[in-house]
Structure 1
Amino acid sequence: MSGDARLWCDRLVRGLAQHEFDLYALSRSERQEDEGWIPLPPQVGRVRTAPMWSADDDGVVHGRRARRRFAEHYGELAAALCAPASEGRTDPSAPEADRFSNALYGLADLAHDEGGLVAALRSETAVSILERACRAPGAPRPAREARVPELLAVAAHLEHALRPLSLDWYGDDGLGSVDLCHATAGGVAALPGLLARHFAGVPLLVTEYGVRLRAHYLDAPEAPPPVRSLLAAFHGRLAAETYGRAALVTPGNGHARRWQERCGADRAKLRTVYPGMDASRFADVGETAACADPGALVWVGRVEPAKDLVSLLHAFAEVRKEEPATRLRIVGAPAGPEGAAYLAHCRSLAAQLFPDEADGPHRAGDNPVSFEEIGGPEIPSPADAYACGAVTVLSSVVEGFPVGLVEAMFCGRATVSTDVGAVVEVIGGTGLVVPPRNPRALAEACVALLRDPERRERLGAAARARALELFTVEQNIAAFHGIYLEIVARTPVRRVVLDGSGEPLPFAMPAEAHIPGRWTERPARVTARGGPAHPPVRATAAPEPEGAR
């Protein structure tokens, strides 16, 4: 796990000292594994990791009966993926969903009995079974058109995604012994939680701040249609299964919630819990409403194409026509090679749009557009970035939960944002929102706030009050503490307590025994899907192939 999700997991575990946590994490890459461990709080007991980036041949040789079982279950899985596409939202009660579910747990049982499935999932048999399913009557056209390279690519992806089935995490010495499994992402990351429920009846809680199925749809657009079709079917079925089996699902915002409902989540199981963010880092700026330059617009974030800085630069050119003294400070580092290329493009565009002022270095005060990074002498911290201008701008065309927008709200900034992702939900009337990819609308909103200091002050104060009420670490921790107790309290006791003569003691472990206090011997153990170097709740696995290192 990385970025904001990792920070959320870390804050959650450290804030719930009254619970015991085990961390089960799927690592995404060798580099992530090599990054090392971070200090863990005392409430984290065991930490177990498994690499998703590699899987050696397990050496398991299946006998004739096991091979028949594999062919039967893998064939059912492939048939479920090649079933005719249904219209509209995913229906978890459809026959294809039952077929997928039975096949998934059949493969899990086989892996449990035989010691693993890595070799079987990589075999020619698996590719042949997938090919037969694609050629069967009624299969979607993209599946019927799959050639050998596409079939090999899909089979390789399924082998990678199903690696958690072969882990040895599900016995009484692992996930089978916990009271609750908290998966901090959906998709493949939730598989260990599903298997803990299947093998040991452990209740599953799923948190998604970015819907994995949506991310899959946006990934690899260059893949051939047969590959996209079959993998979309797999991830759609897996999402529906995860939502259907979970005791509760906690989306991080209404945008994610709508995606989950469309993918089959029961509305009665959904509880929106906003990410918890550390407001203390922005307290000084927010309380004083300090502003270094009342004539400056500020953009803060990762530099990448989805942030649409090109539209922002064109909008700023319009702003300069109305307010010639205005400056634009773009504060952020590029996200990878693509981000670096995009940053270079934006610098070039700024020079073209403002040719009379392009000779000076890109520093605040020398050029109307400056490109800066947090950590320098002028902007040592994120709070300083928001304090250096009067209006914070978000110009994205794609956005999940807008973390930078919440940080600006903590700082009491007036904001202008594009209507994407959860922006409207987060802003709640405390800022101006315009359509994405519309430089003119973005410019008009910025000019309106630049010309009205009193309105900026009112909006900034309202934004800070809203952020402190809804988006702090404290509200997030309190929400999950209540959810943990609720799920555990309504889950049947799975352990049998014996008296001195070896006879069962009925009601020896009531739900109240999980509540810390002088009347109990142990708090509830929670297993949460955690990320790399930051522990989530005593965990079952990590969000989408991510590590615990």
Structure 2
Amino acid sequence: MRIGLLTEGGYPYVSGDAGLWCDRLVRGLAQHEFDIYALCAGEHQENEGRVPLPPQVGRVRTAPLWGTEDDGVSYGRRARRRFAECYGELAAVLCADAPQEPSGAPRTSPLAQADRFANALYGLAELAREEGGPARALRSEQAVRALERACRAPGATRLARQARVADLLTTAAHLERILRPLSLDWYGQDGLGAVDLCHAASGGAAAVPGLLARHFSGVPLLVTEYGVRLRTHYLTAAGSSPAVRSLLAAFHGRLAAETYRQAALITPGNAHARRWQERCGADRARIRTVYPGMDASPFAEVGEAPERADPDTLVWAGPIEPAKDLVSLLHAFAEIRAHEPKARLRIVGTPAGPEGETYLHHCRELAELLFPDAARGPLAPGGPPVSFERTGGPEVPTSADAYAGGAVVVLSSAVEGFPSVLVEAMLCGRATVSTDVGAVREVIGGTGLVVPPDDPRALAEACVTLLRDPQRRARLGAAARARALELFTVEQNIAAFHGIYLEIVSRVPVRRVLLDDAGRPLPFAAPAEAHLPGHWSGTTSSAAARGGPRWATRPPVAVPAVTEGAR
């Protein structure tokens, strides 16, 4: 089977998001051939290079989403008229789809709006295929004026009507970056048009090439989201003006809805992501939850010897940033020390960028105020009560060493997606106390204590409960390790996607014709699992004319259904 893997700012770049998951998937499915189509997020990614690729990767094609790309294509009068119609329709949908005023009501049905968006998107794609890429047109004054007319048109929402020239320019520039895949030459029979399946490793821009391959060549699309791109857009767009946020939220929401509508299957990484997808219109019958796979081997030694843990030590691990809410954890630990004077807290992690460095400095100052003994070294006798350590240092060479140093692992996040740190602690057989955010409750599944976020007292009470009860810690730790080994390993993830690939391809007709040197069909030239038994599309009549055999239609081979993980 030939898979077109679509990524945005990720694999195969060294610094890419979700690169480890994609690499494990490609290496684990060595029986398939992979073509990688990567959208580069920035110049730094290209400069840092790519990871070594296994032999099953046939080709790698990349395109930048950063900077200003100019393909030199200038449209004539007729092409400009087509562009104005399609882009104007797209802008009209965004202005009508922005948040309504309390007394407002949509002028058309949601289905009609979805169709208008899809027609505009594919109209721009067909124009790009016939006349050349629309990169220059998407940045032109014509595009900005189309946005302005849509914002000023009757029925436009209040926020759209408030858009100023600067807002229109910002919106047009963002749309050009997201729609840049329309200008690529990836969709012919020498590219995505020849693959059996497109697998988008995220939503957003990464899914756009999959949508176009489906539109032009009928290639089925699989969408995997371990972090919902629409949610990410909402979290990162806070610095924009209200008009820009409204228009871009409408665009990303429409793009997500169209992606879910056209996808053969959607695989969220947890129920939290699944709920976002269903709110955006994803069909529940086409959703399969597939948990991210983690390598359990680095944590095996720690998990098999839980008795080595310090019974008085709490461990927090992960990237240091404001979303992890270490401030609440420090205040909670002050209350813990009031009940358990021997308790210690080890904070192990690396700051996430300049903001993380600033936040770490703030947390150190707070720890010095709450615990004056914190100035002593991390290995000083009897203390300090709080220590800050970095993974990879002499005290904590690996992540497993961080969890090995304590009997209870704490997660204090105010915002969380899939808590991979929590899974690592579970693989180490540690009892956990976590805040109820993101997919935490789903991951824990009753094998740890869960408290409300931003509640230091509840966090302290849960930690004290486990510090005082070693037998309960042992039971929860053993149950957590068993659950992690069952649901969250690399092997589970790879097996799930292998079954999903077979399920999708078994439902679509054969599109590729494989012939020998004499022009006769080769029914066994590709793996049998990649094709639906029956007539060879477009080859039966020609084979009969040459005196070759006619392939009789047979009942389809039953492909085992992929069962959804426990939620």
TM-score scaled by length of structure 1? 0.90
Please state whether the residue corresponding to 1:240 is helix, strand or coil. helix
1:509, distance to aligned residue in structure 2 (A) = 8.2
Distance 1:449 1:149, change over 3 A: same
Answer with 359-368 or 257-266: which moved more. 359-368
Contact 2:516 2:522 (C-alpha < 8 Å) held by counterparts: no
User: 1:23 matched to which residue of 2?
Assistant: 36
Contact 2:265 2:288 (C-alpha < 8 Å) held by counterparts: yes
Give the distance between the partners of 2:439 and 2:323, measured in 1 at CA: 15
Give the distance between the partners of 1:370 and 1:31, measured in 2 at CA: 34
What residue identity is the alignment partner of 2:463? C
1:94, distance to aligned residue in structure 2 (A) = 1.5
What residue identity is the alignment partner of 1:455? R
Contact 2:199 2:224 (C-alpha < 8 Å) held by counterparts: yes
Give the distance between the partners of 1:458 and 1:92, measured in 2 at CA: 54
When the two chains are superposed, the root-mean-square deviation of aligned CA atoms in Å is: 2.0
1:168, distance to aligned residue in structure 2 (A) = 0.7
Q: Which of 412, 415, 422 is the matching residue for 2:432?
A: 415
Describe the superposition over 1:145-201 as per-residue Cα deviations: whole angstroms up to 9, x where unpaired. 101010111011111111010011111000000000000000111101111111111
Contact 2:271 2:289 (C-alpha < 8 Å) held by counterparts: yes
Give the distance between the partners of 2:193 and 2:280, measured in 1 at CA: 28
Q: Which of 101, 106, 109 is the matching residue for 2:126?
A: 109
User: 1:191 matched to which residue of 2?
Assistant: 208
Contact 2:95 2:157 (C-alpha < 8 Å) held by counterparts: yes
Q: Are 2:386 and 1:373 equivalent residues in the alignment?
A: no
What residue identity is the alignment partner of 1:62? Y
1:367, distance to aligned residue in structure 2 (A) = 1.4
User: 1:65 matched to which residue of 2?
Assistant: 78
Give the distance between the partners of 1:363 and 1:149, measured in 2 at CA: 56
Q: Are 2:37 and 1:37 equivalent residues in the alignment?
A: no
Give the distance between the partners of 1:12 and 1:510, measured in 2 at CA: 21
User: 1:81 matched to which residue of 2?
Assistant: 94
Q: Which of 282, 287, 296 is the matching residue for 2:304?
A: 287
Describe the superposition over 1:344-371 as per-residue Cα deviations: whole angstroms up to 9, x where unpaired. 000000001112x144245565411000
What residue identity is the alignment partner of 1:26? L
Q: Are 2:239 and 1:222 equivalent residues in the alignment?
A: yes
Distance 1:253 1:499, change over 3 A: same
Q: Which of 175, 189, 192 is the matching residue for 1:172?
A: 189
User: 1:155 matched to which residue of 2?
Assistant: 172
Q: Which of 376, 380, 384 is the matching residue for 1:360?
A: 376
User: 1:311 matched to which residue of 2?
Assistant: 328
1:494, distance to aligned residue in structure 2 (A) = 1.4
The residue correspondences of 1:227-266 to structure 2 (distance < 5 A) are: 227-266=244-283
1:11, distance to aligned residue in structure 2 (A) = 0.5
Give the distance between the partners of 2:227 and 2:240, measured in 1 at CA: 22
What residue identity is the alignment partner of 1:272? T
Give the distance between the partners of 2:111 and 2:461, measured in 1 at CA: 49
What residue identity is the alignment partner of 2:279? R
Give the distance between the partners of 1:291 and 1:499, measured in 2 at CA: 64
User: 2:292 matched to which residue of 1?
Assistant: 275
User: 1:341 matched to which residue of 2?
Assistant: 358
User: 1:540 matched to which residue of 2?
Assistant: none
1:56, distance to aligned residue in structure 2 (A) = 2.5
Contact 1:290 1:387 (C-alpha < 8 Å) held by counterparts: no
User: 1:512 matched to which residue of 2?
Assistant: 528
User: 1:145 matched to which residue of 2?
Assistant: 162
What residue identity is the alignment partner of 2:205? V
1:493, distance to aligned residue in structure 2 (A) = 1.3
1:221, distance to aligned residue in structure 2 (A) = 0.7
Q: Which of 467, 474, 486 is the matching residue for 2:503?
A: 486
Q: Which of 393, 399, 418 is the matching residue for 1:401?
A: 418
User: 1:298 matched to which residue of 2?
Assistant: 315
1:55, distance to aligned residue in structure 2 (A) = 3.4
Q: How many pairs are equivalent?
A: 512
Give the distance between the partners of 2:322 and 2:308, measured in 1 at CA: 29
Contact 1:286 1:464 (C-alpha < 8 Å) held by counterparts: yes
What residue identity is the alignment partner of 2:376? G
1:498, distance to aligned residue in structure 2 (A) = 5.4
Contact 1:186 1:211 (C-alpha < 8 Å) held by counterparts: yes
Give the distance between the partners of 2:28 and 2:517, measured in 1 at CA: 38
1:492, distance to aligned residue in structure 2 (A) = 1.1
Distance 1:342 1:385, change over 3 A: same
Contact 1:363 1:371 (C-alpha < 8 Å) held by counterparts: no
| Identity of matched residues, % | 74
Contact 2:98 2:160 (C-alpha < 8 Å) held by counterparts: no
Contact 2:98 2:246 (C-alpha < 8 Å) held by counterparts: no
Describe the superposition over 1:362-411 as per-residue Cα deviations: whole angstroms up to 9, x where unpaired. 55654110000111122111100000001000000100000000000000
Please state whether the residue corresponding to 2:185 is helix, strand or coil. coil
Describe the superposition over 1:495-521 as per-residue Cα deviations: whole angstroms up to 9, x where unpaired. 245577758x69888983528xxxxxx
Answer with 494-503 or 201-210: which moved more. 494-503
Distance 1:182 1:416, change over 3 A: same
Describe the superposition over 1:9-61 as per-residue Cα deviations: whole angstroms up to 9, x where unpaired. 11111000110101110111111011122221111110111111123311111
Contact 2:196 2:530 (C-alpha < 8 Å) held by counterparts: no
What residue identity is the alignment partner of 1:514? A
Distance 1:492 1:364, change over 3 A: farther
Q: Which of 126, 139, 164 is the matching residue for 2:143?
A: 126
Give the distance between the partners of 2:16 and 2:396, measured in 1 at CA: 21
Distance 1:296 1:486, change over 3 A: same
Q: Are 2:480 and 1:467 equivalent residues in the alignment?
A: no
Give the distance between the partners of 2:157 and 2:73, measured in 1 at CA: 34
**Unpaired runs of 5+ in structure 1?**
516-549
What residue identity is the alignment partner of 1:352? L
User: 2:561 matched to which residue of 1?
Assistant: none
Distance 1:308 1:55, change over 3 A: same
Describe the superposition over 1:313-367 as per-residue Cα deviations: whole angstroms up to 9, x where unpaired. 0000000000001000000000000000000000000001112x14424556541
What residue identity is the alignment partner of 1:159? E
Describe the superposition over 1:80-102 as per-residue Cα deviations: whole angstroms up to 9, x where unpaired. 101155789x9996111100000
Distance 1:176 1:368, change over 3 A: same
Contact 1:497 1:508 (C-alpha < 8 Å) held by counterparts: no
Distance 1:389 1:156, change over 3 A: same
Contact 2:199 2:223 (C-alpha < 8 Å) held by counterparts: yes
Please state whether the residue corresponding to 2:70 is helix, strand or coil. coil
Give the distance between the partners of 1:120 and 1:17, measured in 2 at CA: 42
Give the distance between the partners of 1:55 and 1:104, measured in 2 at CA: 21
Please state whether the residue corresponding to 2:304 is helix, strand or coil. helix
1:6, distance to aligned residue in structure 2 (A) = 1.2
What residue identity is the alignment partner of 1:300? A
Please state whether the residue corresponding to 1:26 is helix, strand or coil. strand
User: 2:23 matched to which residue of 1?
Assistant: 10
User: 1:100 matched to which residue of 2?
Assistant: 117
Please state whether the residue corresponding to 1:396 is helix, strand or coil. coil
Give the distance between the partners of 2:453 and 2:529, measured in 1 at CA: 52
Return the structure number with greater relative CO, CA threshold 8 A, min gap 6.
1
